């Protein structure tokens, strides 16, 4: 009988259900097939006019009925991923989930179509100011509920019947990983036997794209060749590609999963974080917070760096991130890093922002289960300063016992997750 | 048996609001029953404006201040006060271990840019292209960083060097409740030794007034204390920054820190707000804390907003436990959404340090005088729309 506690005496946390939706498709099966075939989900934006924009491509999800705003699409994507995860786990029927919800979600705000609608009702003859909007706003009661920050988590909590106060969180581009970490911690504390952890992002709107564009964070070179735009670790990488999607995990204590005979997809072995106080959008040049973050995750898993067989990279395709992530990995794993495969799912699905950590955790679990590593596509011009095995362009079978998935975000947010297979 | 070394002690508080900055200013004004209200700037909407603050005192670099909007300045300032109060400011060894949880909304819009687009877009030949063009050329590139929810935490890391961990919870009032709940749970379970928890809100924002007025929830025309606003009540936004340093007893003792109060329970839930939903939810939460409470020496510090029906239902709950005197801080500070619950824990801490409750602010007679001694405070946090929470804060000798 394998122990239900880890080497530090804490309950082992396992995954019994996983769901994913990206620009490649809905569900694990379709995503895995396309990821291992090296396909890109990036395309020209058709949801809104792209006149006057420097970037006109994204990994939008266009195969669902249109939604009215980021909050509504993020909620729908989360529902689809969570339904898949809960169904797979068999833990309960939809609507009676026996644990709390931790949701990584983009910050919710009123958007231009609604702002224009309110402005149109303001009766202003000349300039439309906020004084007019405030006067007209009482005519739109539904917008209160929709545009609260807690609205998406609240609706999901109602739909899935999660317990207690749902947590909506943001750690920028690390949010999805933070949601999983909060779930792991709650189970380790013994507060619950299960947690529903979701990262979702459906935030591709003109203003959200322009905001990243104004920070020079987005790829601008491949508007006419979208599938080639995300080029992590390549010498000619020129920014990330915004994308949409959601990932969901049902976490359970190993003990309760075993007791109900659940199939175990993998183990959430360790979580690490370390904040970078260097700059709002850039990493400390010495890489110490990234190194510390990964090191903390490996230690939390009761492992040493030599135990890690694969790095699921944050790998955004920005000049800054990929350089710093490579430095961090090389420092932590030493000489061995030349032979540890590291690949970026974002080369195919783009950067799903608040969802990325959760989506990439689901893909890392599939990597462990299938003993096969999805590639980094568009790797045509290697960066000589990043001499790593990025699993270029073609998926590869490999022995992967323990994998680390990185998520780094604006505001100095760094989170790493270590995952492995069920103990023998 | 609970392990006392894992007690969650408050060792630092930092507060700013319309009453001023810091513990002393707040305590003085609460004692004398003073508030500060602005009924004209956003008329007909009532707000409690931030007292004049010299941000340089906690955010010395002008470059940092320029990178922030006011909600972030308020929060970064309050966080600095809390770190000072706990005696850990500049102590890089401790700062690198601090687990930060910030309860945040989002940042200010550029009102001029928005207004110009709202005015020009209906007349533009190609409205969508006009929107793109204006946003591309008129938005300040760094405004995004001043709007992002997690960048209050980011700024606190940069300005004060807090680098253990950083998490931002969103979701109005409940975000503040759950930030404290998770921090206290982690300390209790040995997952964390020292935490910085709080939030900030700039109430002087017409974009927020619009959001809450969608539901008709803004207090209009005339100020009244929250219990006197009646069935058509609402809330007056307040500008509030509140942070707490919370430590395990073991960690506080090891560094010789003086505890100000103990948080001996935080519970939260989210009822669907059907009939009496708030009252039932609060009663269920009360059941989880009541064994620890001695009502004769306890008072309730309420985060009641003035919004209905939540305020009436909370009042019914409090009336059912009428051996505790009640104070609603919203009457003094206005409503600050995310930081409201941490602020009320900070004010509970001040009251417990003084061993007495502050003055009532209520002409309805619901807030009764309390003859000391005060040993426990029940802090309530009922969201104007969703989310209910309670904390028990206790005096430490």
Q: Is residue A214 scored above 90 in pLDDT?
A: yes
Contacts of B2 in chain A (CB under 8 A): none
> How many C-alpha atoms does A313 have within 13 Å on its Cβ side?
36
pLDDT of residue B321: 97
Q: Which of A53, A123, A129, A148 to mutate to test the interface with B (most CBs of B within 10 A)?
A: A148
- Residue B186 is part of a domain; what is its CATH number? 3.40.47.10
Between chains, do A191 and B121 touch, taking CB under 8 Å as contact? Answer: no
Question: Which of B149, B152, B189, B237 best probes binding to A when mutated, by most A CB atoms within 10 angstroms?
Answer: B149
Rg, C-alpha atoms of chain A: 21
Residue B138 resides in a domain? no
Chain A, nearest residue to B188 by Cα = A189
CB contact under 8 A, A167 and B217: no
pLDDT digits (tens, 9 = 90+) for B325-349: 999 999 999 999 999 999 999 999 9
Condensed to tens digits (0 to 9), the pLDDT of residues A25-37 reads 999 999 999 999 9
Nearest to A332 by CA among A304, A354, A355: A304
Asked, for residue B114, whether it belongs to a domain, the answer is no
Helix (H, G, I), strand (E, B) or coil at B173: helix
Percent of chain A scoring above 70 in pLDDT: 100
Pairing of strands B388-394, B376-382: antiparallel
Tokens read off for B396 = 């430490």
Q: Given pLDDT bands bounded at 50, 70 and 90, which one contains residue B371? A: confident
Q: Is B143 among the domain residues?
A: no
Q: What percent of chain A has pLDDT over 90?
A: 98
- Mean pLDDT in residue range B28-49: 96
Is residue B135 one of the residues assigned to a domain? no
Q: What are the residues facing B324 on neighbouring strands?
A: none
pLDDT band at B266 (very low <50, low <70, confident <90, very high): very high
Is the pLDDT at B372 greater than 80? The verdict is no
- How many structural domains are present in chain B? 1
Q: Which of B96, B97, B170, B338 would best serve as a mutation to test chain A binding (most A beta carbons within 10 A)?
A: B170
Residue A165 to residue B177, Cβ atoms within 8 A: yes
Q: Is residue B141 part of a domain?
A: no
Distance from the Cα of B210 to chain A's closest Cα (Å) equals: 5
Distance between alpha carbon B236 and the CA centroid of its chain, in Å?
Answer: 14
The answer to whether residue B120 scores a pLDDT higher than 70 is yes
Summarised one tens digit per residue, pLDDT across range B104-114 is 999 899 999 99
Report CA-CA distances (Å) from A25 to A106, A122, B284. 21, 41, 43
pTM score of the predicted model: 0.98
| Torsions phi, psi for B171 (to 5 deg) | 120, 45
Least confident of B235-239, B274-278, B377-381: B274-278
Contact flag A138-B207 (C-beta cutoff 8 Å):
no
CATH number among 3.40.50.20, 3.40.47.10, 3.40.1080.10, 3.30.70.260, domain A14-109+147-413: 3.40.47.10
Chain A residue nearest residue B44, CA to CA:
A135
Alpha carbon distance A276, A264 (integer Å): 35
Which domain does B95 fall in, by range? 4-107+148-394
Distance from CA of A76 to the nearest CA of B (A): 18
> pLDDT tens, A116-152?
999 999 988 889 999 999 999 999 999 999 999 999 9
Contact A172 B150 (CB under 8 A): yes
Q: Tell me whether residue B120 is in a domain.
A: no
Query: For residue B272, is pLDDT > 60?
Result: yes
Domain ranges of chain A: 14-109+147-413, 113-145
- Residue B119 domain flag: no
Per-residue pLDDT tens over the stretch B190-228: 999 999 999 999 999 999 999 999 999 999 999 999 999
SS3 B337: coil
Q: Do B272 and A158 touch (CB under 8 A)?
A: yes
| ipTM for this prediction | 0.98
Residue B134 belongs to a domain:
no
**Hey, is B159 helix, strand or coil?**
helix
Q: Per-residue pLDDT averaged across A387-402, rounded?
A: 98
Mean per-residue pLDDT over chain A, rounded? 97
Active site residues of A: 173, 314, 351
Distance from CA of A82 to the nearest CA of B (A): 20
């Amino acid at each position: 009988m394998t122990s239900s506690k880890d080497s530090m005496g804490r309950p082992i946390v396992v995954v019994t259900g996983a769901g994913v939706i990206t620009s490649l498709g809905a569900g694990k099966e379709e995503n895995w097939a396309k990821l291992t075939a090296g396909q890109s989900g990036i395309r020209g934006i058709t949801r809104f006019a792209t006149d006057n924009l420097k970037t006109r491509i994204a990994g939008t999800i266009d195969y669902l009925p249109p939604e009215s705003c980021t909050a509504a699409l993020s909620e729908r994507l989360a529902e689809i991923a969570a339904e898949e995860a809960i169904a797979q786990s068999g833990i309960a029927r939809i609507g009676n989930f026996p644990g709390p919800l931790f949701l990584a979600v983009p910050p919710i705000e009123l958007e231009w179509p609604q702002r224009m609608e309110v402005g149109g009702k303001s009766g202003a003859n000349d300039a439309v100011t906020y004084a007019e909007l405030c006067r007209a706003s009482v005519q739109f009661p539904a917008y209160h509920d929709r545009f609260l920050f807690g609205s998406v988590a609240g609706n999901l909590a109602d739909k899935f019947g999660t317990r207690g106060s749902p947590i909506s969180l943001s750690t920028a581009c690390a949010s999805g990983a933070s949601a999983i970490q909060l779930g792991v911690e709650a189970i380790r504390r013994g507060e619950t036997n299960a947690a529903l952890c979701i990262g979702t992002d459906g935030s591709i709107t003109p203003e959200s794209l322009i905001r990243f564009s104004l920070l020079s964070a987005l790829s601008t070179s491949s508007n006419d060749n979208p599938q080639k735009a995300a080029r992590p670790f390549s010498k000619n990488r020129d920014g990330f590609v915004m994308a949409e999607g959601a990932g969901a995990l049902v976490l359970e204590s190993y003990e309760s999963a075993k007791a109900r005979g659940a199939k175990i997809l993998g183990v959430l072995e360790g979580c690490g974080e370390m904040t970078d106080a260097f700059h709002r959008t850039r990493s400390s040049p010495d890489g110490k917070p990234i190194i510390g973050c990964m090191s903390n995750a490996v230690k939390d898993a009761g492992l040493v760096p030599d135990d890690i067989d694969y790095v699921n990279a944050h790998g955004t395709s920005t000049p800054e991130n990929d350089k710093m992530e490579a430095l961090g990995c090389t420092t932590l794993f030493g000489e061995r890093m030349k032979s540890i495969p590291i690949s970026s799912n974002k080369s195919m699905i783009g950067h799903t922002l608040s969802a990325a950590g959760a989506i990439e955790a689901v893909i890392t679990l599939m990597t462990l289960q299938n003993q096969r590593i999805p590639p980094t596509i568009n790797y045509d011009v290697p960066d000589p300063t990043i001499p790593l095995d990025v699993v270029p362009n073609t998926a590869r079978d490999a022995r992967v016992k323990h994998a680390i998935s990185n998520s780094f975000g604006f505001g100095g947010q760094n989170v790493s997750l270590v995952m492995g297979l069920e103990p023998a | 048996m609970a392990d006392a070394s894992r007690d969650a002690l408050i060792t630092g508080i930092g507060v700013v609001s319309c009453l001023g900055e810091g513990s002393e200013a707040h305590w003085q004004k609460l004692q004398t029953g003073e508030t500060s209200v602005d009924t004209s700037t956003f008329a007909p909407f009532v707000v409690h404006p931030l007292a004049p603050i010299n941000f340089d005192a906690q955010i010395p670099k002008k470059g940092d201040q320029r990178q922030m909007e006011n909600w972030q300045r308020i929060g970064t300032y309050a966080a600095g006060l809390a770190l000072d109060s706990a005696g850990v400011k500049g102590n890089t060894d401790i700062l690198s271990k601090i687990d930060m949880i910030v309860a945040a909304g989002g940042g200010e819009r550029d009102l001029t840019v928005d207004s110009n687009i709202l005015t020009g877009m209906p007349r533009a030949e190609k409205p969508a292209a006009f929107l793109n063009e204006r946003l591309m050329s008129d938005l300040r590139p760094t405004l995004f960083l001043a709007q992002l929810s997690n960048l209050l935490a980011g700024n606190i890391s940069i300005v004060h060097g807090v680098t253990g961990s950083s998490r931002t919870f969103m979701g109005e009032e409940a975000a503040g409740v759950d930030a404290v709940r998770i921090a206290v749970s982690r300390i209790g379970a040995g997952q964390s030794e020292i935490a910085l928890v709080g939030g900030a809100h700039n109430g002087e924002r017409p974009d927020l007034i619009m959001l809450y007025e969608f539901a008709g929830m803004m207090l209009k025309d005339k100020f009244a204390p929250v219990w006197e606003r009646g069935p058509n009540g609402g809330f007056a936004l307040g500008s509030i920054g509140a942070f707490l340093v919370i430590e395990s007893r073991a960690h506080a003792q090891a560094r010789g820190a003086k505890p100000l109060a103990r948080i001996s329970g935080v519970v939260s839930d989210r009822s669907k707000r059907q009939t009496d939903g708030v009252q039932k939810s609060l009663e269920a939460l009360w059941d989880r804390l009541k064994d620890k409470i001695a009502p004769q020496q306890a008072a309730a510090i309420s985060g009641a907003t003035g919004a209905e029906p939540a305020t009436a239902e909370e009042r019914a709950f409090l009336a059912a436990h009428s051996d505790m005197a009640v104070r609603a801080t919203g009457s003094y500070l206005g409503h600050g959404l995310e930081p409201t619950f941490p602020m009320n824990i900070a004010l509970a801490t001040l009251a417990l340090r003084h061993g007495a409750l502050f003055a009532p602010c209520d002409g309805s007679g619901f807030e009764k005088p309390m003859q000391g001694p005060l040993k426990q405070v029940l802090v309530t946090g009922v969201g104007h729309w969703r989310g209910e929470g309670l904390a028990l804060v206790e005096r430490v000798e």
